[in-house]
Amino acid sequence: MNGIERTQTNRGEPKGSPHLVSRRQFLKAAALLAAPNVIPASALGRDGAVAPSERIVMGGIGIGGRGTHDLGWMIGEPDVQFVAICEVQKKRREAAKNTIDKRYGNTDCAVYGDIRQFLAERTDVDAVLIATGDRWHALASIMAMRAGKDVYCEKPACLSMAQGRMVVETARRYARVYQTGAQRLSEPNHVFCIEMARTGQLGPVHTAYADCRWRDGMRHDWLPAEPEPPKEELDWDVWLGPSPWRPYNHGYVSGGGWYHFYDTATDVAMWGAHTVTQALAAFDMSNVSFIEFEYAGPDETMVTRLSNGVKLVLFRVVGDVWQKCNLWHGSCGERFDGPEGWLGAADGYEMPDASSPALLREYRKVMAEYAARTRRPMNHVRDFFDCIRSRRLTVANPEVMYRSMSICLVADICEQLKRNLKFDLIKGEFVGDAEANRLRSRPMRAPWTV
């Protein structure tokens, strides 16, 4: 009887008879049935809200540190809804869940500690944000795309060229949308400099600069073994993922300590995943067949030469000590030099730096033309969501990621081998250097393989 309690009547029929209710309860039920159902406008997509059937259903994988920033950025989009978090560290799982539940005013966000369970169970998720430690970026992206998810993955997107190529091939085979987190490709000052160089406003660009930060050597040692925490708090095997096994030590986990070890990170790609991407965006890379790398020593800026005649300078910063630099102020800068002048930008600029104020006069016009030509917003995550709907390539698509990561990883290998190298971009291999070619891949620890 739809939750209405049955009662004894004066007719002496037994309590619980399916035919009997009190008059008061009957009238109450009738009133409830006659009343109109009130459905929130948000559920219907009115008042500026997006109906649930039209929302992009999201999950997060590895949400802490940079991932916390990305999560806050994404949940501000009206047509996006996060429903689940997969995070190996309990404290981070709970923090991300609290952020999501607070945003939506409920307690619905599900949590997982193992990516395999998350991907197997959450068939309702359309796309994922991947912001794990670097060792997991490529593997998590590949696993998610194979499970039918579109992917926004933080940088650096891979630890080896082989991993990067697998990401490209997986996105193509499974027809997935992929965006790497090189967000300055969607920021006005950087886009303006790129467009001015790309369209010939500086004349034929002969030199491009990318702000790169080397660490003062990557560590190859192990930290001493410590007792592992309970798996519910941190599953150490899952945390390591495809990296070589190492005994647990809180120094890897706390404060991003993994960041300094070769087994779990990269060197040039840490910063260059941004800036090399920005520099390459000004050129038609389909016409570049090879790149030559000049080893200049452990404390010197690295010069590379593209087969189209452009010199790409990986401006060297070691650790937190900046060399004297008159190319830009701030971090993550790029600059383009041509016969008609130069332009550059970095974080914190109100306007790009220019060799002449005249180069900035067409700023608004150039940006308007870019928006009309590309139909891209000046918002990197919004570009990702728009491409999920349209199914077109993102601004930082897999091929863009692979080219820039290849250059960064070759620079790492050049540093490691301490000699000049020539890399064939078409074949994806070093020219005449078997030892360097062996370093294009890294072994992946079972069962975390693809």
Of the candidates 279, 242, 59, 22, the residue with the CA atom closest to the CA atom of residue 136: 242
Of the candidates 326, 335, 288, 318, the residue with the CA atom closest to the CA atom of residue 415: 318
- The pLDDT value recorded for residue 301 is 86
Distances (CA, A) of 215 to 71, 296, 298, 320, 321: 28, 16, 10, 8, 10
Percentage of the chain lying above the pLDDT 70 cut? 86
Residues 134-168 have pLDDT tens digits of 999 999 999 999 999 999 999 999 999 999 999 99
Average pLDDT, the chain: 89
Segment among 238-242, 269-273, 433-437 with least mean pLDDT: 269-273
Percentage of the chain lying above the pLDDT 90 cut? 77
- The pLDDT value recorded for residue 318 is 56
Domain 184-218+266-379+398-438 has CATH 3.30.360: yes
- The pLDDT value recorded for residue 328 is 80
Residues 75-133 have pLDDT tens digits of 999 999 999 999 999 999 999 999 999 999 999 999 999 999 999 999 999 999 999 99
Location of structure tokens 């250097």: 433
> pLDDT at residue 15 above 50?
no
Q: How confident is the model at residue 325 (pLDDT cuts 50, 70, 90)?
A: low
Helix (H, G, I), strand (E, B) or coil at 353: strand
Q: Are 288 and 308 in contact (CB under 8 A)?
A: yes
- The span from the CA of 216 to the CA of 260, in Å, is 9
- The pLDDT value recorded for residue 36 is 45
Q: How confident is the model at residue 25 (pLDDT cuts 50, 70, 90)?
A: low
Amino acid type, 351: M
> pLDDT at residue 24 above 60?
no
- The span from the CA of 49 to the CA of 104, in Å, is 13
> pLDDT at residue 5 above 50?
no
- The span from the CA of 270 to the CA of 268, in Å, is 5
- The span from the CA of 234 to the CA of 228, in Å, is 8
In a 10 Å sphere around its CB, with 0-12 CB exposed, 13-18 middle and 19+ buried, how is residue 341 labelled? middle
- The pLDDT value recorded for residue 9 is 36
Q: Which residue spans of the chain are classified as CATH 3.30.360?
A: 184-218+266-379+398-438
> pLDDT at residue 23 above 80?
no
Residues 391-416 have pLDDT tens digits of 999 999 999 999 999 999 999 999 99
- The pLDDT value recorded for residue 167 is 98
* Residues contacting residue 128 through CB under 8 Å, at least 6 positions apart: 58, 59, 60, 61, 144, 149, 150, 151, 152
Segment among 5-9, 30-34, 308-312 with least mean pLDDT: 5-9
CATH architecture of 43-183: 3-Layer(aba) Sandwich (3.40)
Query: What is the arithmetic mean of pLDDT over 239-253?
Result: 97
Query: What is the arithmetic mean of pLDDT over 339-346?
Result: 96
Q: Which residue spans of the chain are classified as CATH 3.40.50.720?
A: 43-183
- As a dihedral over the C-alpha atoms of residue 215, residue 216, residue 222, residue 225, rounded to 10 degrees, the angle is -80
Helix (H, G, I), strand (E, B) or coil at 397: coil
Q: How confident is the model at residue 218 (pLDDT cuts 50, 70, 90)?
A: confident
- The pLDDT value recorded for residue 40 is 46
Query: What is the arithmetic mean of pLDDT over 26-43?
Result: 46
- The pLDDT value recorded for residue 91 is 96
- The pLDDT value recorded for residue 234 is 97
- The span from the CA of 405 to the CA of 138, in Å, is 12
Of the candidates 283, 242, 266, the residue with the CA atom closest to the CA atom of residue 161: 266
In a 10 Å sphere around its CB, with 0-12 CB exposed, 13-18 middle and 19+ buried, how is residue 148 labelled? middle
Residues 279-309 have pLDDT tens digits of 999 999 999 999 999 998 876 789 999 999 9
